[in-house]
A and B are shown apart, each in its own frame.
Chain A
Amino acid sequence: MREKGPVDNPKVSRRDFLGWLIRGGLFTTLAGMAVPALSYLWPVTRQGPIGGMVEVGREDEIPVWASKKVVLGGSALLVVRTPKEFKAFSAICTHLGCIVFWESLRKEIACPCHAGFFDLEGRVSW
């Protein structure tokens, strides 16, 4: 076998070229395997919001100034009944994702994780 050196091509020898080709091929193969594997790891989540009317309970289930937690579209909600109306909030605290509850003595929504309070408009009150 005759050694093909830089004589044929002073820039890239045939050996170097084949080396790069093999390395490139191996890299492409691995990348080609990694991409589907990574997308496999991505969770299958529901797309888009839940629409329309959903029944979450009967009116007499929740007395005035009391509350009920319901799960809607995989997400927890807090329904509070005031003398005038029913109000619904996301029950997931904006701070660290804990589930808030209705503190009926204070008439406010409370977070058990950071002792934070929210008023009936959902604003931070304490």
Chain B
Amino acid sequence: MVKDTLRRWLAERFDLEQIKGPLQAQIEKPLPKNVSWFHTFGSMSLFLFVSQVLTGILLLVYYRPTPGEAFESVKFIMTKATMGWLYRQIHAWGANLMVIIVFLHMLRTFVTGSYKKPRELTWVFGVMLFILTLVFGFTGYLLPWNQLAYWATTVGTEVAGAIPGAGEWIKTLLRGGESVSGETLSRFFVVHVIVLPWAVFFIVLFHLVLVRFQGIATLEPVGQEKKPKPGEGIPFFPHHVTKEGMVFYLLLGLLVTLAILAPFELGEKADPLQTPFAIKPEWYFLPMYQVIKYFPKLVGIFIVSLAPLFLFIWPFIDRSKERHPLKRPVAMTIGILVVLSLLVLGMMGYLSESKKTCPV
């Protein structure tokens, strides 16, 4: 009844038939047969992004981005505001899971060779989103203004400062001064809550338009892809959407479980005169940190900054036609080596912490 009235009201004003057609086509668009559970990592990333935006908005209600108030306001959220602890924990865990899921999404795309022609740009936008996810993590980490946050940011920006030539300039610009201070907090806050969310929103939009426009890649070689005809393949709705719904609920369950069973502690308020022992960056920066520790500073930074560049240009380097992982031994070997070295370096970075007790 209400629905009919509404439909009539809209139909008198808009050409509904014209809108309905393309919409219907999008919903019913068949996906190729090789679409599996591994193809839900992308929508899982989107789910986490939406979760971060929503919990982020809730946190913003009480959070105050000044050195005098930031720590206390986060403490207030965790102890006084009703359910505040849950939103903060879901936001913190969501950030960590998002790094993992976005990485897995990228890995899946790599393994199935989906980045190859004609989808190179989708990959490039995807790499941008991966990097922005890390920047989200880096900027958000400072906001609680606790000891770990303060010193991880000091060390992180110091690393940027070692870049030859523009290093000092970048460091000062990031910190808003010579050391990490209230100016840094303001800058990171603006980037974290305004600049990054909108940048990610628009890039996700481009990314998704490209995915829908070009269709999901199959495992057939470049140029020999067969698009599923209507009636063939897996319908986007309801088949794939159901799968996505299931993983969303799994993620939601995981987020709440982790938030309750493994909460992040707030620790002590930042003290610019007291560096705590065994300071280290967030786990997802550990491989980078380890490389910088291992090599002379400049060589380390050179290697670390080459990595994202390689990710960007990878589809333009690897131009072989095969997509099936078993038919791409070289690419697969490189991929496995990269993942292994990330894991090994990360573990080494993690363990090096325990050795850093003072040898008196």
Residues of A within 8 A of B (CB): 41-43, 45, 69, 71, 74-76, 91-92, 96-101, 103, 105-106, 110-115, 126
Contacts and interface: CB of A to CB of B under 8 A. Distances in A.
A97 B158 contact: yes
A76 B272 contact: yes
Nearest 10 Cβ contacts at the A-B interface: A97-B158, A98-B275, A99-B275, A43-B176, A96-B155, A112-B277, A96-B158, A112-B275, A115-B356, A43-B177
A42 B179 contact: no
A45 B275 contact: no
B274 A99 contact: yes
A92 B155 CA distance: 11
A102 B175 CA distance: 27
Contacts of A99: 272-275
Contact of B172 (A45, A71, A74, A112): A45
A42 B279 contact: no
Nearest to B155: A96
B184 to A, nearest CB: 9
Given A74-B179, A103-B360, A97 B154 contact: yes
Contacts of B161: 97
A112 B276 contact: yes
14 contacts: A43-B172, A43-B177, A69-B273, A74-B177, A74-B179, A91-B273, A97-B155, A98-B155, A98-B275, A99-B274, A105-B360, A112-B275, A114-B293, A115-B358
A114 B356 contact: yes
A76 B273 contact: yes
B278 interface: yes
A126 B359 CA distance: 10
Given A97-B154, A98-B154, A115-B359, A41 B273 contact: no
Contacts of A115: 355-359
B151 interface: yes
B178 interface: yes
Nearest to B156: A96
B211 interface: no
A89 B348 CA distance: 32
A113 B158 CA distance: 13
Contacts of B175: 43
A113 B275 contact: yes
Nearest to A98: B275
A43 B155 contact: no
Given A97-B158, A99-B272, A113 B173 contact: no
Contacts of B157: 97
A7 B179 CA distance: 64
A107 to B, nearest CB: 11
A112 B279 contact: yes
A94 to B, nearest CB: 10
A43 B356 contact: no
Contacts of A97: 154-155, 157-158, 161, 179
Nearest to A113: B279
Contacts of B273: 69, 71, 76, 91, 99
B72 interface: no
Nearest to A70: B273
Nearest to B180: A97
Contacts of B155: 96-98, 113
Nearest to A100: B275
Given A41-B173, A43-B183, A74 B178 contact: yes
B159 interface: yes
A124 to B, nearest CB: 14
Contacts of B277: 112
Interface string B70-99: 000000000000000000000000000000
Nearest to A106: B360
Contact of A45 (B178, B276, B356, B357): B178
A5 B47 CA distance: 55
Given A43-B177, A69-B273, A98 B279 contact: yes
Interface string B269-294: 00011111111000000000000010
